[in-house]
Chains A and B, each alone.
Chain A
Amino acid sequence: MDFESLYQQYRSYVWTICYRILGNEADTEDAVQETFIKAITSIHTFNPAKGEMKTWLGKIAHNVSIDILRRKGRFTELKDIAYEIDLNNADFEALQQCLSQLPEKQRLALILKRVSQNRWEDVALLMGLTVDQVRYLEELARNSMKRCMSKE
Chain B
Amino acid sequence: MNDIELDMMLDRWSDAIALRVPQEDARRTDECLRYDEIALLTQNKGKEALVSRQSHIPRCAWCLKAVAMIASHLESGGAYPVEDDVEDGYNSQRGLVYRANVAASFQEEESPFVAGLGTYVGDWLRSQAVPMEEETPAFFDTQGTLHIALEGLPSGDSMRVNLLINGAPMSVGSGVVVGGRLQIARPMPEFGLKSVRLSAELVAAEPLAHT
Contacts and interface: CB of A to CB of B under 8 A. Distances in A.
B64 to A, nearest CB: 11
Contact of B16 (A36, A66, A85, A149): A85
B9 A95 contact: yes
Interface stretch (B141-149, B161-169, B190-198): B161-169
A110 B17 CA distance: 15
A95 B13 CA distance: 8
Contacts of A20: 17
Nearest to B9: A95
Interface in B39-78: 39, 42, 62, 65-66, 69-70, 73
Could you tell me the dominant secondary structure of chain A's interface residues? helix
Interface string B163-201: 010011100000000000000000000000000000000
Interface size class of A (residues with CB under 8 A): 35 or more
A6 B1 contact: no
A146 B39 contact: no
Nearest to B62: A33
Interface residues of B, number: 40
Residue of A3, A11, A20, A145 ringed by the most chain B CB atoms within 10 A = A3
Contacts of A37: 35, 38, 42, 66, 69-70, 73
A92 B9 CA distance: 8
B14 interface: yes
B14 A111 contact: yes
26 contacts: A3-B39, A7-B35, A19-B17, A20-B17, A25-B22, A29-B26, A29-B27, A33-B65, A33-B66, A36-B35, A37-B38, A37-B66, A37-B69, A41-B69, A41-B73, A67-B169, A67-B206, A67-B211, A71-B169, A87-B13, A111-B10, A142-B6, A146-B3, A146-B6, A149-B6, A149-B9
Given A114-B10, A115-B14, 15 more contacts: A30-B167, A32-B25, A38-B69, A41-B73, A63-B211, A66-B210, A67-B211, A71-B204, A85-B16, A92-B16, A96-B13, A111-B14, A145-B6, A146-B1, A146-B2
Interface of A: 1-4, 6-7, 11-12, 15-16, 19-20, 25, 29-30, 32-34, 36-38, 40-41, 43, 63, 66-67, 70-71, 85, 87, 91-92, 95-96, 110-111, 114-115, 142, 145-146, 149-150
